[in-house]
Amino acid sequence: MRPIDITTESSTQLVRRARKIDRVLAETYPDARAELDFDDPFQCLVVTVLSAQTTDKRVNAVRPTLFAAYPDPAAMAAADRAHLEQIVGPLGFFRAKTESLLKLSAALVEQHDGQVPGRLEDLVKLPGVGRKTANVVLGNAFDVPGITVDTHFGRLVRRLGWTTETDPVKVEFAIAGLFPKRDWTMLSHHLIWHGRRRCHAKKPACGACPVARWCPSYGAGPTDPVEAEKLVRTEGPN
């Protein structure tokens, strides 16, 4: 198999190819979802903020203790700093993350009556909340379509030849133009799951990739099926 040539691809052909890839990824990962655990919008917002520079598994491990102690913004805003630092300590950067949680919770109490807002323009005004975090919360806690441009998403859309943009906001708008709005949240899950399980940053499992025939970067990793299969993860990184 050779990499697909997209040098003469029209905008219509790009849309068709991108949507075909998403359909195949949806079949490959029927259980794709957010891999952070949460019970409500506040928990979704907090665990997403905490997930920076650590793994979802580690965040999920501290979540029960964190929300048992501080179940809502008012409780977390009034938290004892030392105790909060102790809880989030296993995640690394615990002082900075504690500061973020205290400021974020206080802003929710002071500006939104202790409720997480369900609009992008309000979310991004909160301390420590950018478009990526806001879109995670909108898509997963409020069922409002959003595109989550994390490192996996950005890497894959460039490898797949959907865009050459590197700025996350420009990537978001470029990809939004290829898919119906209703598909944005699940598209994000499909690509992130694929990036964590097969299309790795350093050594993608090209020979075990379900969308290889539509990928212009085919061959960036091992193409031998047996060798590639060894690189496939059954779950995201710990």
Domain end (from 141, 173, 190)? 141
Q: How many residues does the chain have?
A: 238
pLDDT at 237: 59
36 within a domain of the structure (yes/no): no
Residue of 22, 97, 132, 183 with catalytic role: 132
Q: Where do we find the tokens 């919770």?
A: 105
CATH number of domain containing 158:
1.10.1670.10
**Taking the CA of residue 89 as centre, how many other CA atoms within 13 Å lie in the half-sphere pointing to its CB?**
7
pLDDT at 235: 78
Residues 6+ apart with CB under 8 A from 155: 195, 199, 201
- Which structural domain, as residue segments, surrounds residue 113? 41-141
pLDDT (tens place) for every residue of the chain, 238 residues total: 889 999 999 999 999 999 999 999 999 999 999 999 999 999 999 999 999 989 999 999 999 999 999 999 999 999 999 999 999 999 999 999 999 999 999 999 999 999 999 999 999 999 999 999 999 999 999 999 999 999 999 999 999 999 999 999 999 999 999 999 999 999 999 999 999 999 999 999 999 999 999 999 999 999 999 999 999 998 765 5
Known catalytic residue at 132: yes
Q: How crowded is residue 65: how many other Cβ atoms within 10 Å of its Cβ?
A: 12
Angle at 69 between CA 104 and CA 118, to 5 degrees: 35
Which residue, 69, 39, 37, 40, is CA-closest to 50? 37
CATH number of domain containing 45:
1.10.340.30
Which DSSP state fits 33?
A: -
pLDDT at 236: 66
Contact 190, 150 (CB under 8 A): no
Residues 99 and 153 in one domain: no
Known catalytic residue at 37: no
Residues 137 and 82 in one domain: yes
Structural domains of the chain, count: 2
pLDDT at 186: 98
pLDDT at 234: 85
Residue of 22, 56, 97, 150 with catalytic role: 150
pLDDT at 1: 84
